[in-house]
Amino acid sequence: TFDLLYTNEAILIGLVYSYLPFMVLPLYASLEKMDFRLIEAASDLYASKWQAARHVIIPLAKPGIIAGSLLVFIPSIGAFIAPDLLGGGKRLMLGSLIHFQFATARNWPFGAAVSILLMVFVMVALLIYNRANKGQGVAMGGH
C-alpha cells in the first residue's frame, strides 16, 4: 500500500492544494494585462521561447509573481490545521508550534515569543515586497 497520510508529502500536497489559488489569481491578473505583441516582437527578433520567457514574460509578470508569493507565504507560514490533520500532529511547523504552546502546553510566554518570531518573518517578507516593487506604483503603503 501507499501510505501518504501523516507524512511531510501529505502536508505539502495539502498546503499546495489550499494555497494554489492565491498564487494563480495574481499571476493570471498580471499575465492578462500583458501586451502579447511584445512576445511576437521577441519572436520576430529571433528570440527562442526560453529567451522570450526570460526577457519579456517573467519581467512583465514580476508583480504578479511577487504578490502571489506573498499571498501564499503569509498564510502558509502560520498554517496549523492542515499540518495537524495531514501530518497527524507529528510534524512541527511554526503555526502548529504556536497553537500547541497556547492551547495544550499553556506555555504562553514561549507561544508569544514564537508568535513574535512569526510576525518578524512576515514583516521581513513585506519589506522585501515593498523594496521589490519600489518605483512601480504598486508598493504597499506607497505614495
Q: Does residue 143 lie in a domain region?
A: no
Q: pLDDT class for 132, splitting at 50, 70, 90?
A: confident
Q: Does residue 138 lie in a domain region?
A: no
Find the CATH number of the domain harbouring 47.
Answer: 1.10.3720.10
Secondary structure letter of residue 134 according to DSSP: T
Residue 34, by phi and psi: left (phi above 0), alpha (psi -120 to 50) or beta?
Answer: beta
Q: Does residue 58 lie in a domain region?
A: yes
pLDDT at 135: 62
Residue 139 pLDDT > 60: no
Residue 27 pLDDT > 90: yes
Q: Does residue 139 lie in a domain region?
A: no
Amino acid found at 18 = S
Q: Does residue 1 lie in a domain region?
A: no
User: Are residues 71 and 22 in contact, defined by beta-carbon separation less than 8 angstroms?
Assistant: yes
Q: Does residue 137 lie in a domain region?
A: no
pLDDT at 1: 54
pLDDT in tens, 50-94: 999 999 999 999 989 988 999 999 899 889 888 889 988 888 889
φ and ψ at 35, to 5 degrees?
-85, 110
Q: Does residue 140 lie in a domain region?
A: no
Domain range for 68 is 8-132
Q: Does residue 69 lie in a domain region?
A: yes
C-alpha cell at 104: 495544550
Q: How far apart are CA 56 and CA 66, in angstroms?
A: 16
Q: Which residue has the cell 512569526?
A: 118
pLDDT at 55: 94
The closest of 117, 114, 116 to 101, measured between CA atoms, is 114
The count of domains in the chain is 1
